[in-house]
Structure 1
């Protein structure tokens, strides 16, 4: 394969990539648009938010940025839940505490942060996200959530009461973003459901209809422990009235009796354009309660709903649910409900139950879910469905019935799992941001100075999972393309050339959305801390490439360390030639390595999680004004070389192609701008000679151009993350060459 490497060459591909076309990379710069739009107030500020968008944000549920929810949980607690869709991380933390004599947010038994970690898509249920946990005490991790526009519904394992220090049941929760702050806006009739846990931990559940009137100044409730009455037919002795007063905290309101002996705090949130009554906290008798009131409605249209329930006791009411915690998918019809549920203990059920109209004195919008002689009581409103069990009249222990379920509609709220804002590491030495919106098929690429280019993208008509950027920076025949996996993007985009020409040319990039922000995650359990790093450097008339190995690890309270080994891939295992201390950089996911013997030797880098593996990434301009692009894969053993196809490979030659790997070869066919094809094959050393020749470089194999054996390359692979090929330095025909192939599961358009 003949190539001109002025300014260097690099290529990137995805396993199962492809397409045809090409470009010459010589087009003069197109106009660029400065962006200055800030994010909506409902979002937590993103470090690069002011650089990213010059157009209004999509609806919150489909925005890929950070957001904070106020969570009301069935365990009787209130929390904040931060979701960072760019890095797929979450933080569950206690909210501010309150007066113990009022139903207010409880003080969590855990000081500060309750839980944090990554979240990921549920591959079996698009639109559902799984909250990863470091310790799962059950067979199935039920912690998950669904987006509901301006709210979320989910389940998470939390302490049963503020007096326990243990994490137990996975409780349903509702997270909201908009609390009603105008008192007059709260008026309405609500069907309110309560789940309570007394000091003795014997759960109970109740159902009441309430109304707020008088411009938000009065609340009436029909207080029955065993029945569910409409207010207008409520027995006089069960009807209770409260005054509503404002508190010092916006969005928090207080119910109070005339003698102030009973005070209860609550909120009203806007969900789907409707009011939802919410409360969670501790009563004076130490009971913990969760209350949710849905706006009264008679509409029970067919819907698919997702959510969770906890059924902690069957004493006294024999509820129509298996005891335990479960995540469910529920199909609601006019007269029946079909529910598939997975329980924490690993069991699962699929059941269909009749949906019945309740007695004449029940709320008009309420329904009963029947199983044998048992009935669960529920109502819908604001895109939600809540359900509880009521104790049977005359039972000896009327409160031991604790069952609550909470679901949200699935229509129109599922998020394409590829929608996100990705950190781009480009081979021209720049870090940028790529926003992909697969619902609208729009993209935006934002450089480090805040300049952006945006436009549509379209699916390749031939290659599945391959997409074409629409851009006027290069000729249409150049066909800037990309492919996306579950947690990364790889492709070629017209970035500014690194040789100072001022022109745009197609250049490879890797983009990731899950950057490691905790040094303890540098060294994954079960993997070695050693990386094989392939690097290319390009500038005016300069092209070079290197292969090296380095260790990156964190041990206890010590400062994270990066130790660079020899750049000679044939040298036996070495101790690091240079050691660098590692500290956090200026933004999340950015790390700074500083030579312990020479502080002026320092650089920034990131570690991305791709396919469950750590991948080292760096894009920068060095002291010689060269664009540096580096990718490092963790070493692993036993070494295996996969046989696979890749439908997309891209390069700075301006074309792109496809190909595949076999046990001893990498075969690529590049599509040129003029429509011609250029085959390129690398023959790999036999595995029988590996790793004896290079015992230190676990995973590296030598290869040579099949048509020109004097042109040599190094190759390495981590099957679930990437495959890389780099040209040997010292040979103008190979130096500066880098090829990447993405492993792992590819994401296609939803059916």
Structure 2
């Protein structure tokens, strides 16, 4: 008899294959299968897993895992609710997806390939996904086109979705602005302008956003879009007793035939049960007011939304929300007011302050422009760029509103010709400018800025 080793040598591996071919060996019909081998790419670059099959990835990374044999795929996570896989795709030899971590903690996500050849061979790749950006999430939006929308934003995937009151969603991407640190450019197919002034900034508290976006123009038929300012918050007050305060409320009213401004101080008191406005033509502080419109406040079905009904006129109703920005309450309202027209409104009102601080605020206006405003107790200098790419500069002289006016509000007169009239207010971290009602060139105009 001729020795087997004369032909195959003494290699244990060769002997095993020889025996398998002769029907020797154990299970799987006597066939010995090679283990699964994988290749890994993160954002298009080859990555070698550790000896234990682990690899660190950041939220928003795109991962591709290839195998050298046909396989089925399964996944698991250390926190089953944390990971979402966007742009997911699988074939018999490829798994790919963009990993989104919905939490602010690191999560382990395991992708396992199982051979389809009947061997039961598996190969697991353990992806250690870093903590998601703390600014990611859902926000309530108060838009100056007179709508209350929802914003879902993810700074890891550089994407957002704006969903309107009719549940129509508009997707866009974001990218860091090259010339203004902390500002993000928004790229949307809805933007009709030659210069992209759709942008946003996030407050230091991580829960509030000031920006501009191509919203549907109120009452336009057919539908068209224009970039206009918005504020978004996920820090809404949900407890009635925390609503109390005096607010310097600026706003605009939009109808099918025109726009107007709304300027007044309002008050919530009685542990969030009573809402009041001053029944005066002049802009009057609540402390100096002698006649009030009084409303009863009740919670809406949506947490953080509050309903008001005039005690003397049940048809005079409305809704508002209070957001906490920079540790201070700010009044908001946006949406349709059907009994008035119909009319769409936007309202913003920081709590009243006793003095104006020297601040710089950055944000947007109802004309789609983006810029900054340097504010003192006596002046406001606003510079920026409009939707055609043209730079602008507006300078206002500010004055107090006599002895009866709110302390935290100023009247503004532009130094340019013609001399337009405005009202200005500021809070701890947000400020606003609105055109005066008596000024036809600016009534219905509003600018909102997030204070540095």
- TM-score w.r.t. the length of structure 2 is 0.69
Question: Is 1:583–2:304 an aligned residue pair?
Answer: no
The match for 1:628 is: 345
C-alpha distance in 1 between matches for 2:239 and 2:284:
33
In structure 1, the partner of 2:282 is 568
Q: CA deviation at 1:467?
A: 0.9
Conservation of the 8 A alpha-carbon contact between 1:522 and 1:554: no
CA RMSD of aligned residues (A): 3.0
Work out the CA distance in 2 between the residues paired with 1:695 and 1:721. Answer: 25
CA displacement at 1:570 relative to structure 2: 5.1
Match of 1:468 among 173, 185, 205: 185
Instruction: Provide the C-alpha distance between the structure 2 equivalents of 1:538 and 1:62, rounded to a whole number of angstroms.
Output: 37
Show the counterpart of 2:3: none
Matched, 1:512 2:216: no
Alignment check: 8 A CA contact 2:172 2:188 kept: yes
Paired residue for 1:655? 369
Aligned to 2:199: 481
* CA displacement at 1:421 relative to structure 2: 0.8
**C-alpha separation between the residues in 2 aligned to 1:506 and 1:607?**
25
Deviations 1:360-409 (A, max 9, x none): xxxxxxxxxxxxxxxxxxxxxxx9xxxxxxxxxxxxxxxxxxxxxxxxxx
CA contact (8 A) 1:465 1:483 kept: yes
> Is the CA contact (8 Å cut-off) linking 1:655 and 1:673 kept in structure 2?
yes
| Native 8 Å contact 1:548 1:567 kept in 2 | no
Structure 2 residue matching 1:694: 3-state secondary structure: coil
1:418 aligns with 2:139: no
Using the alignment, how far apart are the partners of 1:62 and 1:425 within structure 2?
Answer: 24
Q: 2:263 aligns with which of 547, 562, 578?
A: 547
Report how far residue 454 of structure 1 moved: 1.2
1:446 maps to what in 2? Answer: 163
Q: Does 1:62 align with 2:102?
A: yes
Q: How many residues align?
A: 342
d(CA) in 2 for partners of 1:731 and 1:457? 36
Which residue number corresponds to residue 311 of structure 1?
none
CA positional deviation for 1:445:
0.8
1:645 to 360, 366, 382: 360
Determine if contact 1:547/1:567 at 8 Å carries over to the other structure.
no
> Retained in 2: the 8 A contact 1:546–1:567?
no
1:608 Cα shift? 0.8
Unaligned runs of at least 5 residues, structure 1: 1-40, 45-52, 64-126, 128-146, 150-270, 275-382, 384-410, 524-528, 745-751
Does the C-alpha gap of structure 1 residues 591 and 412 become closer, same or farther in structure 2, counting only changes over 3 Å? same
Q: Which residue of 1 aligns with 2:321?
A: 606
Of structures 1 and 2, the one scoring higher in RCO (CA 8 A, sep 6+) is: 1
Partner of 1:715: 424
Q: Distance in 1 between matches of 2:387 and 2:165?
A: 30
Q: What 5-or-longer segments of structure 2 have no aligned partner?
A: 1-78, 89-96, 112-125
After TM superposition, give the deviation of residue 595 of structure 1 in Å.
1.0
- Counterpart CA distance in 1 for 2:185 and 2:450 is 17
The alignment's TM-score, normalised by the length of structure 1, stands at 0.43
- Matches of 1:442 and 1:609 in 2, distance apart? 25
Larger strand share, 1 or 2: 2
Judging changes above 3 Å, is the alpha-carbon distance between structure 1 residues 575 and 677 closer, same or farther for their aligned structure 2 residues?
Answer: same
Instruction: Render the CA deviation track for 1:448-474: whole Å, top value 9, x for unaligned.
Output: 222111132111111111111111112
8 A contact 1:583–1:591 mirrored in 2: yes
> Within 2, Cα distance between the matches of 1:570 and 1:585?
29
Q: Is the 8 A contact 1:703 1:713 kept in 2?
A: yes
CA distance in 2, matches of 1:608, 1:55: 34
1:696 to partner: Cα distance: 4.7
Q: In the superposition, relative to structure 1, how do residues 699 and 655 fare at CA in structure 2: closer, same or farther (>3 Å)?
A: closer
In structure 1, C-alpha distance between the alignment counterparts of 2:135 and 2:191, rounded to whole Å: 26
Instruction: Give 3-state SS (helix, strand or coil) of 2:195's partner.
Output: helix
